[in-house]
A and B are shown apart, each in its own frame.
Chain A
């Protein structure tokens, strides 16, 4: 699969006598699978925008604190309730300015800095919970697809978990286990572990089902038979032959998982069972702002738009990935 020039044949003279056998066009260099995927992915405008925006938001919240080095927790009561900079467009004497481009809240904390800090938490929860769900889902999917003995048990278990009422149970678990985890890891780290754990533990089922289905079909194929006939162990077969082949459904469900995790975390914060109150996340900022949204609608809009745009871009990314990774659609 390397892109080297085709070596000249030593019997070139012979071939020239059979002119019909010579290719008129120069041979194309071979293409790798991932190049095909990338070409198909580029055709999906929404997916490219989505991927770009997700990258932008992720980099923004990771490197934001260095670019905008205002502490999100500093209280500045004299400069409270600033409006965002764009209010100057229609109201020239509004309390606004470049010192706080997104304004300040009722305690004078800078909203841009809070948005960046909140985004860090929301994205971290999203990525980690998604990774956890993928890990569990893939493990259960592979085990139940590959080992016939485990299949019945694991799939019944998956069905059972699927029929659990997820949101009520999540609410329940967060309220009940907040105290012990907080006392062990501190209020912020404890809550973080709790929320990531709960979201991860309650959203692996779809991945497990999809992976199991694909593994069931793949393990009857000839290349698995060939691998087994030369004495490859089960672990090796799974790692080297099966997992690389189910990477595409896993990637698609990863995007779905990221979107659900971000929304669930924000919903928990919104319902008042999420992170402690001085610890900003997008959902928390939105929930705190709802009380005074008549006077300061931007405080609801900014975190709400951040959540919605992130989830929207993740969903578009997933759509594009699904098309790009499906070899039946590719090339059309």
Chain B
């Protein structure tokens, strides 16, 4: 298993390099000019110097190579320095001073390092996305179990219908719909997610809780629909197996049969699906963040795109790619760990 994990880890390096090359190529082919916003009164030779200062004069492979160095060598150095200097977790370690003022990936919009902005935005996205995923799983699994156990019952039919709706209604419709119902007509929940809100007592926690309900539920609806379907399918496959009959025949209680024997075996494919669905949820977060005005990384990507901020776009898209590759790897490894029938050698 360890060798398999290692092999997959090593294989993911060329994959990531290839993806970064594709993103980089797309950006290179793009006709957008970062100097388009500069006033016309600036003479062309000054413009040319500005372009060179942004690193645009060099051929594409030099630019790509420099980006690779910045992303995989300089940024980790900054990160390790941060860990050992200021973070609470590893602050007790001796200070490492790896970072020697090399050029980091600089955003063209703000002239500050891209990773600093990403680190500022990440918590908002992680809170909303992570919480919605957990909520979605917690709702989905009981629904899946019960509708498989009572196959073709009213509950099962209703559950199938609701999951079908969850599949079909896109988040950019559920979002405004919920806002119209709960913020406009009923006035219960705020329609905008306030990221500057600080939680320090019970009252402010309640405000935070209320403003998180809608974005989290919109994202959770999709997760719930997908996972409860897989859960139901996996349970149905297992409920007809011989070992279930054996378990019942030897007199185990129904609860033990379903919740221990069947559930444990049905969770194998479901856990994989949970891991695989994680990147898609980040993609969906781009839309949800736009609807509820959450300033997370999805919103950052959109503004960077519209502002033609290529280093930011490149880095963010690549972070999404890393997430996908990472969770694919996790899904594969988990599948092998959980299912002893799978052997990867």
Using an 8 Å CB-CB cutoff, how does the interface string of A167-179 with B read, 1 for contact, 0 for none?
Answer: 1110111011101
Q: A168-B283, A171-B305, A316-B164 are in contact. Are A308 and B22 (CB under 8 A)?
A: no
> Are B29's CB and A176's CB within 8 A?
yes
> Are A307's CB and B173's CB within 8 A?
yes
> Are A160's CB and B29's CB within 8 A?
no
Q: Is A315 an interface residue (CB 8 A)?
A: yes
Give the residues in chain A near B306, CB-CB below 8 Å.
175, 272
Give the residues in chain A near B18, CB-CB below 8 Å.
160
Q: Is B273 an interface residue (CB 8 A)?
A: no
Q: How far is the CA of A163 from the CA of B170 in the complex (A)?
A: 22
Q: Which of A275-329 contact B (CB under 8 A)?
A: 283, 286-287, 290, 293-294, 297, 300-301, 304, 307-308, 311-312, 315-316, 319
Q: Which of A83-91, A233-241, A263-271 contacts B (4 or more CB under 8 A)?
A: A263-271
Q: How far is the CA of A163 from the CA of B177 in the complex (A)?
A: 32
> Are B283's CB and A169's CB within 8 A?
no
> Are B283's CB and A172's CB within 8 A?
no
- On chain B, the number of residues with a Cβ less than 8 Å from chain A's Cβ atoms is 43
Give the residues in chain B near A300, CB-CB below 8 Å.
173, 176-177, 180
> Are B19's CB and A176's CB within 8 A?
no
Q: Is B167 an interface residue (CB 8 A)?
A: yes
Q: How far is the CA of A159 from the CA of B325 in the complex (A)?
A: 10
Instruction: State the Cβ distance, B314 to closest chain A Cβ, in Å.
Output: 9
> Are B286's CB and A172's CB within 8 A?
no
Q: Is B313 an interface residue (CB 8 A)?
A: yes
Give the residues in chain A near B22, CB-CB below 8 Å.
164, 169
**B170: nearest chain-A partner, CB-CB:** A263
**A309: nearest chain-B partner, CB-CB:** B168
> Are B283's CB and A166's CB within 8 A?
yes
Q: A304-B176, A311-B170 are in contact. Are A163 and B30 (CB under 8 A)?
A: no
Q: Is B316 an interface residue (CB 8 A)?
A: yes
Q: A286-B172, A293-B184 are in contact. Are A169 and B305 (CB under 8 A)?
A: no
> Are B23's CB and A163's CB within 8 A?
no
Q: A160-B18, A165-B324, A286-B172 are in contact. Are A294 and B167 (CB under 8 A)?
A: no
Q: Is B165 an interface residue (CB 8 A)?
A: yes
Main secondary structure, interface of B, reads helix
- On chain A, the number of residues with a Cβ less than 8 Å from chain B's Cβ atoms is 43
Q: How far is the CA of A304 from the CA of B179 in the complex (A)?
A: 14
Give the residues in chain A near B170, CB-CB below 8 Å.
263, 266-267, 307-308, 311
**A171: nearest chain-B partner, CB-CB:** B305
- The listed residue (A163, A259, A297) touching B328 by CB distance below 8 A is A163
Main secondary structure, interface of A, reads helix
- The listed residue (B19, B164, B180, B305) touching A175 by CB distance below 8 A is B305
Q: Which of A250-274 contact B (CB under 8 A)?
A: 259, 263, 266-267, 270-273
Give the residues in chain B near A301, CB-CB below 8 Å.
177, 180
> Are B168's CB and A259's CB within 8 A?
yes
Instruction: State the Cβ distance, B247 to closest chain A Cβ, in Å.
Output: 27
Q: A168-B317, A267-B287 are in contact. Are A312 and B164 (CB under 8 A)?
A: yes
Q: Is B218 an interface residue (CB 8 A)?
A: no
Q: Is B109 an interface residue (CB 8 A)?
A: no
Instruction: State the Cβ distance, A254 to closest chain B Cβ, in Å.
Output: 16
Q: A172-B26, A293-B180 are in contact. Are A179 and B301 (CB under 8 A)?
A: no
Interface residues of B (CB under 8 A from A): 15, 18-19, 22-23, 26-27, 29-32, 164-165, 167-170, 172-173, 176-177, 179-180, 184, 279, 283, 286-287, 290-291, 301-302, 305-306, 313, 316-317, 320-321, 323-325, 328
